A and B are shown apart, each in its own frame.
Chain A
Amino acid sequence: MHGSTSASGAPTEGTADRGHRWRQLHRIAPLLLLVLGVAAIIGSRQLGLGELTAPGPGLWPFIVSLLLTGTAAVLVLIDPAEDYEPWTRGTIRIIAGLVSLGVFILLFQTFGFVVSAFLMLVLWLRVFGGESWRWTLGLAVGGTAVMYLLFVELLGVPFPEGLVDAVIGG
């Protein structure tokens, strides 16, 4: 895709100086892949390549990582980067959202489903969705209840024991 098609409306072109810096930054993605590919080649060799007549466990990963390394190496050199999307203010929100998902998993493991699901819905609806408090609380309470019934009562998924379970006595 064209890099200019993002619809977020934030400034996309930037100054020439920033644009120039971009041209170097965009090589990070293929570089990472290249590093991964080389690491995989080394790893496969350590696993043992064997012979074509008697392939070892490392032979196939070796072939595949050669392909990965080769394509990544070419991309580092020639990737036109015209299909990159610009980083916008929305990006920061997304990163915050990702962190919140990580926190959700931790809360889920410690406090169980009800508390963590409710908090996550409140956060996402209010902060990332921009809903009013009335909609946020209504949807969060309703959503948590419906999902609890669906997963725990109907599907019988054994969620980690949590605060509310202790109160209910389940």
Chain B
Amino acid sequence: MMSWDAVYSLLPLVVGLPLLAAIACALLDSHRWRVGLSILFAFLQLSIVVMLLLAIQHSGAGASYRYALGGWGAPLGIDLVVDGLAIILLLITALLVLILSIYSAQYFSAPNKAAGFWPLWWLLVAGLNAAFISADAFNIYVALEIIGLSAVALVALTGTRAALTAALRYALVGLLGSLCYLLGVALLYRAYGTLDLVQLASTVQANPLTWASLALISVGLLLKTALLPLHFWLPSAHASAPAPVSAVLSALVVKASFYLLVRFWLEVLAPATTEFAMNFLGLLGATAIVWGCIAAFRASRLKLLVAYSTVAQLGYLFLLFPLAAASDISVPLIDSVSDVAGSAALAAVIYFIIAHALAKAAMFLAAGNIQSCYGHDTIDKLQGAARSQPIAVFTFAIAGISLIGLPPSGGFIAKWLLLNSAIQNGQWWWVIVMLVGGLLAAVYIGRVLTIAFAQTVAQSGDKMSTHLLPRGLAMCGLVLAISAVLLGFNAEPVLALLEGSAQISSMGAGGL
């Protein structure tokens, strides 16, 4: 067992390494060095996360590990916790960061843009990783702010008026959200005298003060996750950012706050949640699916379409709550016996997060490539894109297959698992919403492909061929899209991995 303990002691590096990379990229003066260092660090990060994953698997299902930074321990010090749920998010983050770093190395070829990009990029990664493994409610606030500040700056990187306006709105919404979250945490501290998530989970009672803090924390995190009525900031921010930033915002940043919502609703403040509130979240999610698809269909610009599609896809994630409420997933924290149907819903949602992260990142990269070739991304003027940009359109189509949920893609497996769990719980109405959502997604993706494959005589063709992209830019998106589909072919090992992680029980309860 000695060797696995050594692996676990790498846990602080998951946050420390990106922070170090951020500082190094800010200090280094050469573009070449920054890129080289970033890709090296991305590899290192991925290998550390893979080692942690192996250690978690070795320890068996439902295992978790607590690391006390500086040896201070729970009530006063900052603890890091990694369990099955956290490790999966760390893994998908490390994987996407590696591919997107390779993409960005070519995308930001102009040194002045790149100088701003890399430090912010790594700061964002550090914030994401910290949010996944923090065991302390206030530390999560700090992580959220690191994510918020760096994401806003990344959105503003293009410097156009649209990007700056979107970034300002994003910044204000972010501040509003994190202050709501902080007040919720302040109320919790006032009531229970601790910030540690595990200690909170074991002492929390259902009373008005807990409900108030649950409401504040939820509103704050829902703002950042952009669930339907609170999604107004997302399309402009995600659509006006540079392509790799859009990809990471849609694939990971909104998932981080969703992950925290899952932690608080199903784990930390579980005793204070009610079935009515869970169903309400599900209802908002269902509305988001339908409304997001319609808005995506009506979008005039390609990146805006992809951003609205994110609003719709986020809706599916929230179906977790009514499904979990029906099967009482919240019990396992105390007696660490998990309900089968409930953990099936959680496994489905984790699968959905992975599939959507891969497909949506691919789609944004493809949209970005099309945009930088054409100089615009107005959908109606993209006739003939399939001929001039075959790889980008192919990437878009493959990612689309996964988003629609057609077999054999990862998106299909994710939806099929969710459908299964809905049927098991007898909540057939969600099945209808999911089927309608898939149909509508097919309509808006079909619209783009129809225009892209349209033959036009009027288009001379020479105008766009002047901007030939480096092959690597096209390939990164393609790799992501294909892995989103392969995820469906390799459902067995991924599901086996989820089997253990779906029990978010015993978070740091015993350690090892």
**Chains A and B are bound partners:** no
- Interface residues in chain B, defined as those with a beta carbon under 8 Å from any beta carbon in chain A: none
